[in-house]
């Protein structure tokens, strides 16, 4: 089970991703495209109408735009 600090960090990362999804920045968009290209190749990626990380269940559109979010792949971050 996640600690309170881990949950708060996850909320901050998700909020940051949403902010960057709504207010687009060329640098953030370039990084998001780079990360998304990696995610698309991941066998853990889920698509149930919304493309999501199979590890943390975050929507990739927001997850890849969060500046402080790491890939949560069990074998280590892929980006």
> What are the pLDDT digits (tens) for 29-62?
999 999 999 999 999 999 999 999 999 888 999 9
Rounded Cα gap, residues 30 and 71, in angstroms: 17
76: left (phi over 0), alpha (psi -120 to 50) or beta: left
Position 6 scores a pLDDT of 87
Is residue 73 in some structural domain? Answer: no
Is residue 51 in some structural domain? Answer: yes
Is residue 22 in some structural domain? Answer: yes
Cα–Cα nearest to 30, from 57, 65, 58, 55: 65
Is residue 2 in some structural domain? Answer: no
Position 7 scores a pLDDT of 87
Is residue 32 in some structural domain? Answer: yes
Range of the domain at 54: 8-63
Position 76 scores a pLDDT of 94
| pTM assigned to the model | 0.86
Q: Give the count of domains, the chain.
A: 1
Is residue 30 in some structural domain? Answer: yes
Q: What is the mean pLDDT of the chain?
A: 93
């Amino acid at each position: 089970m996640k600690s309170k600090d881990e949950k708060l960090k996850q909320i901050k990362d998700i909020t940051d991703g949403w902010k960057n999804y709504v207010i687009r920045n060329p640098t953030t968009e370039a990084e998001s495209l780079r990360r998304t290209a990696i995610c698309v190749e991941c066998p853990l990626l889920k698509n149930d109408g919304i493309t999501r990380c199979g590890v943390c269940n975050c929507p990739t559109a927001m997850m890849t735009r969060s500046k402080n979010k790491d890939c949560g792949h069990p074998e280590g971050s892929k980006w």
